[in-house]
């Protein structure tokens, strides 16, 4: 029992399950929005709720584990990452491969039980989710690729309910993509010097901290604009727009914290962005409810 518990703890450390708070709120934003538009009710049923959770979790497990597998050579030499389970031997490479394949199969299987479009989209989605690990070795657009990986969540949510990709879900996807890409640039400031030595193509390692702060801020302005367009395209009310404005305030505070003290990047990365995702969902839910 103790060994099993330790395995679960190692897996949790590997995939950082708490970071699911970034994607899960947006898949459910899309699901309740699509259901309200299509069925005039936010509740889409227990079956789709369970399938949606399994899809989101298995896709994220696959992406995180694949990234850890591909990055072992990079992480091993990075002091910040050297104690990860994929590096220090707690989770061997064979077990990591089994975990990656298992979650990929679960994701495809669950998508099959949702609808045909979800099933056929599951294959290119897995390729995109794995793409981030490759892109950061040769292109600085890896930040936006990572953002797009999470941005797929609202598209998946809309497809699960309506069997199509409506305009508003694509706009929400773009907003999430630039939001995540922006805070990933800030997060990469921690590894700026190491990335330079390792020859990785993060924006901080190429352009420096000041330019990275500017690019991140630009990404977040674009994210807010796309979220406003999402509210317009989905014909949401003033409460939804208020939620977007509060999101803008949170992002502004995030940039102030990071600019003042790089040692607080973790706080800005997880705490504020975690609150943003949950808050965004709550405001959309309230808007649709009223």
Taking residues 199-214, what's their average pLDDT?
84
Question: Tens digit of pLDDT for each residue in 23-76?
Answer: 789 999 999 999 999 999 999 999 999 999 899 889 988 988 888 888 777 777
91 has a pLDDT exceeding 80: no
CA distances from 106 to 160, 192, 201 (A): 16, 36, 32
pLDDT band, very low/low/confident/very high, at 82 (cuts 50, 70, 90): low
CB 100 within 8 A of CB 65: yes
128 has a pLDDT exceeding 70: yes
Taking residues 220-233, what's their average pLDDT?
97
18 has a pLDDT exceeding 60: no
Instruction: Give the C-alpha separation, 115 to 72, whole Å.
Output: 36
Q: Encode 183-214: b = buried (16+ Cβ within 10 Å), e = exposed.
A: bbbbbbbbbbebbeeeebbbbbbebeeeebbe
% of the chain exceeding 70 in pLDDT: 86
CB 253 within 8 A of CB 272: yes
Token couple for 64: 């995180």
* Residue 201: per-residue pLDDT: 72
Neighbours of 145 (CB within 10 A): 20
**Of the candidates 112, 127, 117, 132, the residue with the CA atom closest to the CA atom of residue 55:** 112
pLDDT band, very low/low/confident/very high, at 199 (cuts 50, 70, 90): confident
pLDDT band, very low/low/confident/very high, at 12 (cuts 50, 70, 90): low
CB 149 within 8 A of CB 128: yes
* Residue 272: per-residue pLDDT: 78
CB 212 within 8 A of CB 262: no
183 has a pLDDT exceeding 60: yes
14 has a pLDDT exceeding 90: no
CB 68 within 8 A of CB 89: no
Question: Tens digit of pLDDT for each residue in 143-156?
Answer: 888 899 899 999 99
110 or 9, which is more confident? Answer: 110
**Of the candidates 158, 127, 131, 153, the residue with the CA atom closest to the CA atom of residue 142:** 131
This prediction has a pTM of 0.90
Domain boundaries along the sequence of the chain? 2-289
Question: Quick one: 280 exposed, middle or buried, by C-beta within 10 A (0-12, 13-18, 19+)?
Answer: buried
Token couple for 113: 């039980």
pLDDT band, very low/low/confident/very high, at 273 (cuts 50, 70, 90): confident
Fold of domain 2-289: Tetracycline Repressor; domain 2 (1.10.357)
% of the chain exceeding 90 in pLDDT: 49
| Tokens 């990071």 found at | 258
Taking residues 232-247, what's their average pLDDT?
96
Instruction: Give the C-alpha separation, 176 to 152, whole Å.
Output: 9
CA distances from 63 to 103, 153, 202 (A): 9, 13, 19
Cβ neighbours for 151, distance < 8 A, ≥ 6 positions apart: 172, 173, 174, 175, 176, 177, 180
240 or 184, which is more confident? Answer: 240
267 has a pLDDT exceeding 70: no
Looking from the CA of 55 toward its CB, the CA atoms found within 13 Å total 35
Average pLDDT, the chain: 86
Taking residues 192-202, what's their average pLDDT?
75
Largest CA distance in the chain: 55
């Amino acid at each position: 029992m103790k060994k099993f518990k330790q395995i679960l703890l190692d897996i949790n450390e590997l995939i950082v399950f708490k970071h699911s708070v970034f994607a899960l709120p947006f898949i459910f934003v899309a699901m309740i929005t699509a259901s309200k538009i299509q069925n005039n009710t936010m509740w889409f049923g227990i079956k789709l709720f369970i399938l949606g959770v399994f899809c989101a979790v298995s896709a994220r497990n696959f992406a995180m584990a694949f990234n850890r597998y591909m990055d072992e050579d990079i992480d091993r030499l990075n002091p910040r990452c050297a104690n990860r389970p994929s590096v220090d031997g707690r989770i061997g490479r064979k077990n990591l491969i089994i975990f990656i394949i298992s979650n990929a199969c679960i994701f495809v299987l669950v998508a099959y039980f949702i609808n045909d479009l979800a099933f056929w989209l599951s294959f290119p989605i897995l390729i995109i989710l794995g793409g981030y690990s490759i892109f950061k070795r040769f292109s600085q657009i890896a930040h936006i690729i990572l953002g797009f990986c999470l941005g797929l969540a609202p598209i998946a949510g809309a497809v699960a309910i309506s069997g199509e990709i409506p305009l508003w879900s694509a706009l929400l996807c773009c907003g999430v993509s630039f939001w995540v890409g922006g805070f990933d640039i800030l997060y990469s400031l921690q590894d700026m010097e190491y990335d330079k030595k390792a020859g990785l193509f993060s924006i901080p390692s190429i352009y420096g901290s000041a330019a990275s702060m500017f690019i991140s801020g630009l990404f977040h302005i674009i994210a807010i604009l796309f979220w406003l367009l999402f509210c317009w395209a989905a014909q949401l009310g003033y409460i939804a727009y208020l939620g977007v404005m509060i999101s803008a305030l949170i992002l502004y505070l995030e940039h102030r914290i990071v600019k003042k003290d790089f040692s607080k990047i973790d706080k800005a990365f997880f705490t504020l962005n975690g609150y943003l995702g949950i808050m965004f969902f709550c405001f959309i839910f309230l808007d649709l409810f009223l």
